[in-house]
Structure 1
Amino acid sequence: MHPRTQAGIIGIGAMGMAMARNLHGKGFHVRVRDIRPEAEAEAISLGMTACSTPAALAQQSDLVIVVVVNAQQIDEVLFGDGGIATISDAGKCVMLCSTIAPEDTVRCAERLASHGVAMIDAPISGGPARAEAGTMSMMIAAEDELLARYRDVLDALSDKQFHISATIGDGARTKLVNNLLAGINLVAGAEALALGMKIGLDPQRLFEVICASSGHSWIFQDRMARVLKDDFSPRAFAHILTKDVSLATAMADTAQFATPLGDAALEIFRKTVENGWADLDDGAVIKTYLGN
C-alpha cells in the first residue's frame, strides 16, 4: 500500500480553505500558505501547518495544490522569490486549480518542467460548500501516471473528476467554456428576475416557478436564492466571474469564434464591477439591472 500523499495548498481563500478543511478532515496532514495572516491563523487553529513560503511548503509536500486568483499570482507562487521553482529537489508535482488562460497554463507547465517539477492542469468548480464536502467538479488534463500517483488526494477532493486529456491546457479550456455558460446563465437569470420585479410579480413566487420550469439553471437557483434574502456576502466574488468570462471570450477571439451572448454577459459583469460591487457575491449582477 502506498503511503498517504503529503499535500500542500497555496491560496486558502474560500475554495482553497474548503479544500484544506476537506483533506484535513479525511486525515491528511495539510500544509498551507497564504499572503493573509488571518487565513493561515484559521488553518493553524484547525490543526494544519502553515509554511513561510511556497518553497518551504513544496519541500514538505509531494503534491502542491495552487488555488490563487490569477496568472500573476501563480507566477509569483511558482517563480517568484521563495517560489516553488527555487527548490532543488525534483520529483514534485504542482496541481493548478485556478481559472487562468490556457496559454498561461501551458507556459507554467513548461517552466516547471525545466525545474524537474510535473504539473496537473485541474481547474475546479462547484463552490466552497461542495469543495469542503469533496463533491466539487475537477476538469483534469494530465498524464495517467500522475493521476495514479496522487489518486488518494484527487479522490478525497472530488467525486466528479473529468479526465479531459493528457494535454496540458485542456483542463483550462474546459473550465473557461463552462464558466462562459455559467456567466451567461447567471446574467440571464438576473435579468429575468429583475424584469419580474419591475412588472410587479412576487419575486419569491417567480423564483419558485423558474426553479421548477424550463428557465431553471443551477447557478440561477444558487445565486438568486441568496439575492432574495438580500444576501450578497461573497461565496464567489463578482470580480472573479468577470475575469473568467473575459478569459473565455478572449479564448474564443483567438479561435475566431463569435460569442455574442458571452460578450453581452461580460458587459453586465463589467458594469457590476464598475458600480462598486466587485467584492460582493456574483449574484450582485442583479443590482446592475435594479440600480441599487
Structure 2
Amino acid sequence: MTTTVGVIGLGSMGWGAATSALRKGLATWGCDTREEVLARFAAEGGRIARRPADLAAACDVVLVLVVNAAQTEQVLFGEGGLVPGMRPGSVVIASATVDPALPPQWAQRLAEHGVLMIDGPVSGGARKAAEGQMTVMGSGPAEAFDKAAALLDAIAGKVYRLGEAPGIGSTVKMVNQHLAGVHIAAACEAMALGIRAGAEPRALYDVICNSAGMSWMFQNRVPHILDGDYTPLSAVNIFVKDLGIVLDAARKLTFPLPLASAAHQMYLATAALGHGGDDDTSVIKMFAALAGIELPAAAASGGEGAGR
C-alpha cells in the first residue's frame, strides 16, 4: 500500500525531511505559511497546503516540525488545524522540542479522534535533514511506528524507539538540547578566550579538533566563526527557548542545572545585543563586545568587530 505523507513546517529541517520523502518516492504534502517556500516545494514535485486542514484527509502520516509547543498545538487543534480532518488510524509525529509533560496530553486528545501519535523529536541539523539522516528520538505505540515506517525510513538514519509512553522522546531530546546548548556556548567562550590571548583562530580550531577538548558541536559550529558567517542554520533564540524548557522541567523536578543556567544567560545576553535571529555561534559576539576582540573575517568584510 502506498503511504501518503505530510510535513507541516518547511523550515531548514522540515524542508530537508519533506524533500527526503520525495526522493524516496513518497507522495508528499508540504504545509507552510510562506508562499515562496510552497512554490519551491511544488517545483520539487511536492503537493502543497496552506493550512494543516488542507492535507489532513489525504495523509496517512503527518510530521509536525514547527518551532515550539504553541505552534504544535495550533497546527493540531487550532482553527484550520489538522486533527478534525484526519482519518482514524492515521499517525501524527510531533517533532518540536517541547516540555515532556505536553506530549501525553496531545496523545490523549488525538486518541479521542482515533489518531495515533509518536512523540518524535529530531536531531541532526539542516545538513542531516537534507540527507535524510536525522536522528529520531521516538516514543509511542508499536502500531504508530509500523504505520509511519516509510516516512521514518525516508527522513532518518537512526530511529530510537524509547518506549510506548509519549513524553519519553521529548525527555531524551531535552537532555540532548541541554548538552548541545552548553557545548556551543562553551565553544564560543573558549574561542573568544583564545583570540583574546593572541592565538590564531584557525590554528586553534585545528589543534582542538585533534585534542581531548574537541566536541561534535565545537567541530561543527566553530567554522561559522572562522568564516565570519552567522547565517542562522540554528538561531540563538532556539537555545533561549530550548534551554528554557530544560530549566523549567528541571525546576519541577527540584533538580539543579548550574551549567545550563549559565549557558542560558549567555544566549539571553546575545539576544539582548540584537543577535537573537543569528546563528547560535553569535554567542561569541557577546564576548567580543565585552572584551573588545575582533572576530575572524570582520576586517575583510568590513563587518562585525567587537560588539554588534
Report TM bin, short chain. over 0.9
CA distance in 1, matches of 2:162, 2:87: 29
Structure 1 contact 238–280 (Cα < 8 Å) conserved = yes
Deviation at 1:109, TM superposition (A): 1.4
**Which amino acid in 1 is paired with 2:163?**
S
CA distance in 2, matches of 1:68, 1:201: 40
**Partner of 2:131 in structure 1?**
133
**Partner of 1:15 in structure 2?**
13
CA distance in 1, matches of 2:272, 2:106: 31
CA distance in 1, matches of 2:96, 2:119: 9
Structure 1 contact 4–152 (Cα < 8 Å) conserved = no
Deviation at 1:270, TM superposition (A): 0.8
**Partner of 2:303 in structure 1?**
none
CA distance in 1, matches of 2:241, 2:256: 18
**Partner of 2:273 in structure 1?**
275
Query: Could you give the per-residue CA deviations for residues 108-139 of structure 1, whole angstroms, max 9, x where no partner exists?
Result: 11111112211001000011111111211110
- Which of 78, 81, 94 pairs up with 1:80? 78
Deviation at 1:7, TM superposition (A): 0.5
**Partner of 2:301 in structure 1?**
none
Structure 2, unmatched stretches of 5+, are 290-306
CA distance in 2, matches of 1:90, 1:169: 22
Runs of 4+ in 1 over 3 A off after TM superposition: none
**In 2 relative to 1, CA 104–160 (structure 1 residues): closer, same or farther, beyond 3 Å?**
same
CA distance in 2, matches of 1:84, 1:135: 26
How much identity, in percent, do the aligned residues show?
Answer: 37
Q: 104-113 or 180-189: which moved more? A: 104-113
Deviation at 1:52, TM superposition (A): 3.2
CA distance in 2, matches of 1:88, 1:240: 30
**Partner of 2:28 in structure 1?**
30
Deviation at 1:89, TM superposition (A): 3.4
**Partner of 1:206 in structure 2?**
204
Instruction: Output the TM-score relative to the length of structure 2.
Output: 0.92
**What root-mean-square deviation, in Å, do the aligned CA atoms of Structure 1 and Structure 2 show?**
1.1
Query: Could you give the per-residue CA deviations for residues 183-236 of structure 1, whole angstroms, max 9, x where no partner exists?
Result: 111111111110000011101100111111111111111111111100100111
**Partner of 2:66 in structure 1?**
68
CA distance in 2, matches of 1:35, 1:110: 27
- Which of 224, 227, 248 pairs up with 1:226? 224
CA distance in 2, matches of 1:34, 1:163: 28
Q: 194-203 or 76-85: which moved more? A: 76-85
2:173 counterpart of 1:152: no
**Which amino acid in 1 is paired with 2:145?**
L
CA distance in 2, matches of 1:16, 1:25: 14
Question: Where does 1:244-255 land on structure 2 (aligned, <5 Å)?
Answer: 244-255=242-253
**Partner of 2:169 in structure 1?**
171
CA distance in 2, matches of 1:88, 1:6: 12
Structure 2 contact 20–132 (Cα < 8 Å) conserved = yes
**Which amino acid in 1 is paired with 2:177?**
N
Question: Where does 1:85-104 land on structure 2 (aligned, <5 Å)?
Answer: 85-87=83-85, 89-104=87-102
CA distance in 2, matches of 1:124, 1:4: 24
Query: Could you give the per-residue CA deviations for residues 266-290 of structure 1, whole angstroms, max 9, x where no partner exists?
Result: 0001111111111111111111111
- Which of 51, 54, 67 pairs up with 1:53? 51
**Which amino acid in 2 is paired with 1:281?**
D
Query: Could you give the per-residue CA deviations for residues 242-279 of structure 1, whole angstroms, max 9, x where no partner exists?
Result: 21111011111111111000000000011111111111
**Partner of 1:42 in structure 2?**
40
Instruction: Output the TM-score relative to the length of structure 1.
Output: 0.97
What SS does the aligned partner of 1:228 have? helix
Structure 1 contact 32–50 (Cα < 8 Å) conserved = yes
Structure 1, unmatched stretches of 5+, are none
Q: How many residues align?
A: 290
